[in-house]
Homo-oligomer: A and B are copies of this chain.
Amino acid sequence: MQTIFFENTPRIIATGTIAGPKECAGVVGKCVDKTLTDDMFGESTYEKAECKMLSYAITKAIENAGEEQSNIDMLISGDLLNQIISASFAARDFDFPFLGVYGACSTLAESYAIAAALLNAGYYKKIVAATGSHFSSAERQYRYPLELGNTRPPQSQWTVTGAGGAVIASEGSPTAITSATFGKVVDFGITDVNNMGAAMAPAAADTILAHLKETGRNADYYDLIITGDLGALGSRILKDLVWEKGVDIQNNHVDCGEIIYKVIEDEFQGGSGAGCSAVVFNSYIYEKLKRRELNRVLLAATGALLSTVSSGQGESIPCICHAVAIENL
């Protein structure tokens, strides 16, 4: 069994989000707590801006929950930067324990799953789980210096500049995390680092199928099965892969990367990065859960577990997907 069940139904009591001007130009942006006009956020480097965004999202989530920082038991966070420095340096701002995790762009779902597991067991009362990413820090770490002005291939995605997180607590909201399915590492041999959607789609299919089988649910149990950053191409591949296994998610699947940008064509396949699901879920989707326009959501965030070193050494891209079931009770 990859799935664990949370009988004490830990609740997402509030979220906090921040994103760049490009990310906030679309429908998602209307629900974001703070829109940056300058993606440097007053800092001298992209990395420091990314860390400051994450710190903002954590602080804002606690504030939106009407909580004091002294009531928070733990921060669970990670990010895409080497040695997850955004998370570690953001954690320095807070006087509660820190659990560093890494799941690339699946980090949000991974953090929520661990938070829910710890809360459900009664170890803690209130945990903040958050993540983020920054287009410019990701580009220069994973790809090329922006100054080179490289042409982007049509299958590429655009790393989201933004951060988001939530206060998850043992009670205090109708929106509960009812189960989590931890993913296995899946590697279909894709080596094109510009085609993350294709690399990650099999991992998403693997975890979603395991989740449905182990919970005994049909795909239409969920109002929405939302992936993190497969993008337009990856999303189509996912639908095909699960269709081959007899599961139809044509009508209730959407990808955070597909909906974050206003004019998706400009960003080719859409948004990506740990911040993608962090911003979209914690603003737009959580708003819909609060308004009961959505009541049952499966958040299945995927991560590509490569590095520039592994790619340089000719390795393919191992991927993972962690899923959390979020339901209004």
What's the interface size class on A, roughly? Answer: 35 or more
Q: Is A48 on the interface with B (CB-CB < 8 A)?
A: yes
Q: Is A24 on the interface with B (CB-CB < 8 A)?
A: no
Q: Give 15 pairs: A residue, B residue, CB < 8 Å, sorted on A.
A: A4-B123, A44-B313, A47-B309, A48-B313, A82-B83, A91-B320, A92-B318, A96-B184, A97-B182, A99-B101, A102-B102, A117-B117, A117-B121, A121-B121, A141-B309
Assembly CA distance A92 to B189 (angstroms): 12
B98 near A185 with CB under 8 A, answer yes
Assembly CA distance A277 to B121 (angstroms): 28
Assembly CA distance A308 to B47 (angstroms): 12
B121 near A83 with CB under 8 A, answer no
Q: Is A144 on the interface with B (CB-CB < 8 A)?
A: no
Q: Is A173 on the interface with B (CB-CB < 8 A)?
A: no
Q: Taking A1-B73, A45-B313, A309-B47 as contacts, is the C-beta distance between A100 and B89 under 8 angstroms?
A: no
Interface string of A235-253 (1 = CB under 8 A from B): 0000000000000000000
Assembly CA distance A165 to B104 (angstroms): 23
Residue numbers in B under 8 Å from A320 (CB-CB): 88, 91, 98, 100
Most buried by B among A83, A101, A123, A305: A83
Residue numbers in B under 8 Å from A4 (CB-CB): 118, 123-124
Enumerate A63-108 residues with CB–CB distance to B below 8 Å. Answer: 73-74, 78, 80-85, 88-89, 91-92, 94-104
Q: Taking A123-B117, A313-B47 as contacts, is the C-beta distance between A83 and B2 under 8 angstroms?
A: no
Q: Is A139 on the interface with B (CB-CB < 8 A)?
A: no
Q: Is A223 on the interface with B (CB-CB < 8 A)?
A: no
Assembly CA distance A78 to B305 (angstroms): 12
A309 near B98 with CB under 8 A, answer no
